[in-house]
């Protein structure tokens, strides 16, 4: 879950390596912010600095004690796993002779035995991390071989677990070597300079030409070359691609926070995900479909695997896909799917939903499903990510880079993509006529403008949020597609505002949760459209039931829904839409509410405590 950056440039030492690395770390800080550090190759040998806490602690330290000009550099921003967030545990880790520096993202599972082996040989350790063993091992292998690529290759074969490693050596002024297994690493091709990063945002302001690394590969960059081998030493030709967004997409663009900006990006995220999906005959098409149509026609069950917000998008999708395709859909947290004895077969389509494409729990679920013979279709936001590469088919969400740790625009884009998948399957299997599908696509096409209307009229939501900043517990109720929205609303409030929040199926209320209602308890109720009276009337009754017991009711309801008015203390209005489209609207006031309340409490909404954007460890 850490962020890593590598840079190698011209032979004349300059401040560029440090500038590039720090800029990359700023863009990657969403991946972890327990500590940050850099190491540079300078004329006088290696120079490094590291500090616990956010990147600003490091930049302040560097302003007080500048590092010399350099020709290459590596940088790291950490989400702590082994060892607390201290200066000593911050990366880079440096060999005992001070000549090699190494950074790491992932977990080295066999680090204890490796550490014992090194300590028995008298190697002194300065930290509690698993990473430090790799620094000492690569340094020793380099001393024996005089070749940093070979040293990295040898060590990579000894490590168990997940890792991206980057290393520089004092004797190699223009070389950075990386290795990856189960953790992300991309290479950026520049002009007389090259880059590495956990994702392309690390170097996007310098180049949009990227190279995708596969599993168990070692990459060596100099200013003019990029060489990749596998762990057997065979040369590999990585796939090159051009990133289709630029640096301006990954900056706040006038908003105070990334969270606020990304909430406002949502109309575009939905519109871009829908763009160019039909051919001249009006038939839907997916992005990288490596599953035969006959296989998709014979699918008899879909299992969605995902975590967190992505899993809630899957829950929403279940309602639509079952309705449109008449295929049973199960939604399972990826980590639970992998370790239970799930019944899957060649006729099961596993749909993995992930913004980052790197979530380890989801990746392992994908591998597990494929081992059982199931086909996997991934709904992914990050182009070329591990899950996209390892799946049989990919449907990309085009939400653009999501930087704030709490997911917002990815959620809307994931629901949109799931709906496209559902309609695609319905088309392929003959459940829907082309004109029916066109009708649903029109409904989806109307969503961006409706989301924009909510965003343009959000002052009331913000006002109520600020007024509620001392709240300690909030409940969320929803029925049908409103149920996953209620859970997502609760998750947003937990992770952004550190408030106890729970989402319930409204029908479950009388089976227990109603006992939580005491005088003044705030309860959000996500109300179905009155055009589905069988759902709507029951939720209106639920509003009355909690209000009768003293709850303060905050009701999300369609424009023109007057039935809720007598029982709502507060109403947040959303535009009218068909039932299956409503989640794309209902969630927006809940996102704005959580973001505003957390900001009113003075919290960092982009980087909430204890979290990291990409959960790349199990």
DSSP state of 551: P
End-to-end CA distance of the chain, in Å?
Answer: 10
Task: Give the 3-state secondary structure of residue 539.
Answer: helix
The residues facing 72 across adjacent strands are: 8, 41
Neighbours of 166 (CB within 10 A): 31
Q: Are 509 and 547 in contact (CB under 8 A)?
A: no
CB burial of 216-249 (b: ≥16 within 10 Å; e: otherwise) equals bbbbbbbbeebebbebeeeeeebeeeebebebeb
CB of 296 or CB of 388, closer to ligand M6R: 388
CB of 359 or CB of 529, closer to ligand M6R: 359
Shortest distance, position 394 Cβ to ligand M6R, whole Å: 14
Rounded distance, CA 360 to CA 269, Å? 25
Residue 450 known to be catalytic: no
CB burial of 59-75 (b: ≥16 within 10 Å; e: otherwise) equals bebeeeeebebbbbbbb
Residue 325 known to be catalytic: no
Q: What Å distances lie between residue 31 and 19, 131, 169, CA to CA?
A: 19, 17, 26
CB of 80 or CB of 307, closer to ligand M6R: 307
Which tokens is 445 given? 């096409």
Residue 418: name the closest of 508, 529, 286, 543 by CA: 286
Shortest distance, position 356 Cβ to ligand M6R, whole Å: 3
Shortest distance, position 612 Cβ to ligand M6R, whole Å: 9
Cβ-defined contacts of 222-227 (< 8 Å, 24+):
222/8, 222/174, 222/175, 222/194, 223/8, 223/9, 223/10, 223/11, 223/174, 223/192, 223/193, 223/194, 224/192, 225/194, 226/187, 226/189, 226/194, 227/149
Half-sphere exposure of 591 (CA within 13 A, CB side): 29
Q: Provide φ and ψ at 392, rounded to 5°.
A: -80, -25
Q: Provide φ and ψ at 456, rounded to 5°.
A: -75, -15
Catalytic residue among 261, 375, 409, 613: 613
CB of 46 or CB of 399, closer to ligand M6R: 399
CB burial of 477-505 (b: ≥16 within 10 Å; e: otherwise) equals bbbbbbbbbbbbbbbbbbbbbebebbbbb
Shortest distance, position 395 Cβ to ligand M6R, whole Å: 14
Rounded distance, CA 529 to CA 507, Å? 16
Catalytic residue among 2, 325, 418, 595: 2
CB of 168 or CB of 378, closer to ligand M6R: 378
CB of 114 or CB of 417, closer to ligand M6R: 417
Neighbours of 282 (CB within 10 A): 12
Shortest distance, position 387 Cβ to ligand M6R, whole Å: 8
Neighbours of 449 (CB within 10 A): 12
Q: What Å distances lie between residue 78 and 57, 91, 116, 192, 367, CA to CA?
A: 13, 7, 24, 29, 27
Shortest distance, position 215 Cβ to ligand M6R, whole Å: 18
Q: Are 3 and 103 in contact (CB under 8 A)?
A: no
CB of 401 or CB of 522, closer to ligand M6R: 401
Residue 525: name the closest of 513, 512, 542 by CA: 542
CB of 309 or CB of 529, closer to ligand M6R: 309
Shortest distance, position 196 Cβ to ligand M6R, whole Å: 21
Shortest distance, position 349 Cβ to ligand M6R, whole Å: 19
Q: Are 414 and 210 in contact (CB under 8 A)?
A: no
Shortest distance, position 495 Cβ to ligand M6R, whole Å: 6
The binding site for ligand M6R (CB under 6 A) comprises: 307-310, 354-356, 359, 362, 405-407, 495, 611, 614-615
CB of 272 or CB of 361, closer to ligand M6R: 361
Residue 464 sits at the vertex; the CA angle it makes with 308 and 409, to the nearest 5 degrees, is 30
CB of 133 or CB of 360, closer to ligand M6R: 360
DSSP state of 22: H
Residue nearest to ligand M6R (CB): 308
Shortest distance, position 197 Cβ to ligand M6R, whole Å: 17
Q: Which residues does the annotation mark as catalytic?
A: 2, 613
């Amino acid at each position: 879950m850490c962020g890593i950056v590598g840079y190698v440039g011209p032979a004349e030492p300059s401040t560029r390596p440090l500038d590039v690395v720090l800029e990359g770390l700023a863009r990657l800080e969403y991946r972890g912010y327990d500590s940050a550090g850099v190491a540079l190759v300078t004329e006088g040998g290696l120079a490094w600095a590291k500090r616990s806490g956010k990147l600003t602690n490091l930049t302040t330290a560097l302003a007080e004690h500048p590092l010399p000009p350099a020709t290459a550099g590596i940088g790291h921003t950490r989400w702590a796993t082994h060892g607390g967030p201290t200066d000593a545990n911050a990366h880079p880790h440096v060999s005992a002779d001070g000549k090699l520096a190494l950074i790491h993202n992932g977990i080295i599972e066999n680090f204890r035995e490796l550490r014992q082996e090194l300590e028995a040989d008298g190697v002194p350790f300065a930290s509690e991390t698993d990473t430090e063993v790799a620094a000492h091992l690569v340094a020793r292998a380099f001393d024996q071989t005089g070749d940093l690529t070979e040293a990295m290759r040898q060590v990579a074969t000894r490590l168990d677990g997940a890792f991206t490693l980057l290393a520089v050596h004092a004797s190699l002024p223009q070389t950075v070597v990386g290795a990856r297994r189960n953790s992300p690493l991309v290479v950026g091709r520049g002009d007389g300079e090259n880059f590495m990063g956990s994702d392309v945002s690390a170097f996007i302001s310098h180049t949009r030409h990227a190279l995708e690394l596969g599993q168990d590969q070692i990459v060596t960059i100099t200013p003019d070359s990029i060489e990749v081998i596998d762990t057997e030493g065979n040369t590999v030709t990585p796939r090159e691609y051009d990133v289709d967004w630029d640096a301006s997409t990954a900056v706040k663009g006038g908003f105070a926070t990334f969270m606020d900006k990304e909430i406002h990006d949502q109309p575009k995220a939905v519109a871009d995900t829908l763009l160019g999906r039909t051919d001249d005959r009006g038939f839907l098409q997916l992005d990288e479909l490596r599953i035969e149509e006959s296989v998709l026609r014979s699918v008899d069950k879909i299992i969605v695997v995902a975590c967190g917000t992505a899993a809630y998008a899957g829950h929403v999708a279940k309602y639509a896909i079952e309705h449109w395709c008449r295929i049973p859909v199960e939604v399972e947290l990826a980590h639970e799917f992998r370790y239970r004895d799930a019944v899957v077969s060649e006729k099961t389509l596993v749909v993995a939903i992930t913004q980052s494409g790197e979530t380890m729990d989801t990746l392992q679920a994908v591998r597990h499903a494929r081992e059982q013979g199931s086909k996997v279709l991934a709904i992914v936001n990050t182009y070329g990510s591990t899950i996209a590469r390892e799946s049989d088919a990919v449907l990309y969400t085009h939400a653009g880079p999501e930087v704030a740790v709490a997911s917002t625009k990815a959620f809307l884009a994931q629901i949109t993509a799931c709906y496209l998948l559902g309609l695609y399957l319905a088309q392929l299997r003959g459940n829907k006529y082309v004109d029916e599908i066109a009708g649903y696509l029109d409904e989806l096409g109307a969503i961006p403008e409706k989301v924009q209307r909510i965003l343009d009229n959000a002052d009331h939501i913000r006002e109520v949020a600020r007024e509620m900043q001392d709240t300690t517990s909030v409940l969320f109720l929803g029925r049908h597609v409103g149920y996953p929205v209620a859970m997502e609303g609760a998750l947003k409030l937990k992770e952004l505002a550190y408030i106890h929040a729970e989402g319930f199926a409204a029908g479950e209320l009388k089976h227990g949760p109603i006992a939580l209602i005491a005088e003044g308890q705030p309860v959000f109720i996500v109300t179905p459209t009155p055009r589905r009276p069988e759902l709507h009337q029951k939720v209106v009754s639920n509003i009355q039931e909690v209000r009768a017991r003293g709850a303060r009711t905050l009701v999300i309801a369609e424009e023109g829904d007057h039935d809720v008015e007598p029982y709502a203390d507060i109403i947040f209005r959303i535009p009218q839409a068909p039932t299956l489209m409503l989640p794309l609207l209902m969630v927006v006031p809940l996102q704005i509410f959580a973001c505003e309340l957390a900001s009113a409490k003075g919290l960092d909404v982009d980087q909430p405590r204890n979290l990291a954007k990409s959960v790349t460890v199990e």
